[in-house]
């Protein structure tokens, strides 16, 4: 018997930045949420819009084409890194590129098998799983811990509450750069970029599907309803996705952010982040 999808919901909404650098994908073989991060030098070397947008779109196409392979997610992703690295360097040509220029992304991926799913997580995307009423979350907290250092510094800035987002971010850019330089290092965090070592250090595993199992995959612009803002518990957020829909959760996040529209209570890098979610009700 094969896994079947009883119900599904997809959401991928732009935040307050110019471009949406998230993308979601669903196929008969798996599903994925990709949360792009553009380089910190404000250079677009491979796209007229956003290098991060180019990056997640490349992976979305690749996963649609390759998720059906009889290989593990790690093997599929390592092969993809080989391909995208060649394409990236071909596109940048003679342009000088530094590590801070590289686009990257956080990701939450699942692959369907006959009686189980395989998952692979990098960065601050989250996988929620509700099996028989027991809710578990799968996530690498490394980025969240580094971000918290930035947010704590923001909160202590003199006259912080009267600053704009850009003014506040400029004051902490040295910490943001310091954190970004720790990308794909043991001292920092692991992200999907051009390093196969990141795949070896991802959060990964298998989950047996014995009865109906509800799964929710999110970017941090959606999971913040639970792990940043505390609007919902992990049990509530996945149950509400089933009963009220993921649009309801998304609207609550936006309402919360509008009530703190200058980031005074909850310091952050922008008014609204891109927000993405896939909800799946699966059974075998």
Burial 184-214 (b: 16+ CB within 10 A, else e): beeebbbbbbbbeebbebbbbeebebeeebb
Asked if the structure places residue 162 within a domain, the reply is no
Please, which residues bridge with residue 22 across strands? 35
Asked if the structure places residue 27 within a domain, the reply is yes
Q: Which domain holds residue 234?
A: 4-141+191-283
Tokens of 178: 């310091």
**pTM given for the model:** 0.95
Q: What pLDDT is recorded for position 124?
A: 96
In total, how many domains does the chain have? 1
Asked if the structure places residue 62 within a domain, the reply is yes
Q: What pLDDT is recorded for position 264?
A: 82
Distance CA 31, CA 20 (A): 19
Asked if the structure places residue 55 within a domain, the reply is yes
Q: What pLDDT is recorded for position 255?
A: 97
Distance CA 182, CA 69 (A): 32
Q: What pLDDT is recorded for position 1?
A: 47
Residue 86 is inside which H or E element, if any? helix 73-92
- Residue pair 230/236 in contact (Cβ under 8 Å)? The answer is no
- CATH code, 262: 3.60.40.10
Asked if the structure places residue 243 within a domain, the reply is yes
Asked if the structure places residue 234 within a domain, the reply is yes
Asked if the structure places residue 152 within a domain, the reply is no
List average pLDDT for each run of 10 residues in the chain, which is 284 residues long.
86 95 97 95 90 97 97 98 97 90 97 96 97 94 94 88 86 94 96 97 95 95 96 97 97 96 87 97 89
Tokens of 273: 């982040």
Asked if the structure places residue 256 within a domain, the reply is yes
Closest by Cα among 201, 93, 88, 173 to 192:
201
Q: What pLDDT is recorded for position 142?
A: 96
């Amino acid at each position: 018997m094969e896994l079947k999808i009883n119900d599904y919901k997809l959401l991928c909404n732009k935040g307050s930045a110019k471009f949406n650098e998230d993308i979601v994908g669903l196929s008969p073989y798996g599903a994925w949420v990709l949360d792009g991060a553009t380089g910190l030098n404000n250079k677009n070397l491979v796209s007229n819009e956003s290098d991060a947008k180019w990056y997640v779109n490349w992976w979305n196409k690749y996963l649609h084409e390759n998720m059906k392979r009889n290989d593990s997610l790690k093997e599929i992703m390592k092969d993809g890194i080989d391909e995208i690295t060649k394409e990236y360097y071909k596109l940048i040509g003679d342009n000088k590129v530094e590590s801070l220029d590289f686009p990257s992304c956080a990701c939450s991926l699942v692959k369907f098998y006959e009686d189980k799913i395989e998952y692979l997580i990098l960065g601050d995307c989250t996988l929620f799983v509700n099996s028989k009423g027991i809710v578990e979350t799968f996530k690498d907290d490394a980025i969240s811990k580094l971000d918290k250092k930035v947010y704590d510094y923001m909160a202590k800035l003199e006259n912080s509450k009267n600053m704009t987002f850009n003014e506040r971010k400029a004051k902490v850019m040295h910490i943001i750069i310091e954190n970004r330089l720790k990308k794909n290092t043991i001292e920092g965090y692991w992200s999907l970029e051009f390093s196969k070592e990141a795949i070896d250090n991802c959060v990964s595993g298998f989950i047996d599907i014995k009865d109906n199992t509800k799964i929710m995959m999110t970017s941090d612009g959606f999971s913040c309803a639970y792990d940043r803002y505390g609007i919902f518990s992990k049990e509530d957020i996945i149950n509400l996705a089933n009963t009220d829909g993921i649009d309801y959760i998304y609207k609550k996040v936006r309402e919360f952010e509008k009530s703190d529209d200058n980031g005074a209570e909850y310091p952050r890098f922008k008014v609204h982040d891109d927000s993405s979610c896939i909800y799946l009700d699966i059974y075998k």
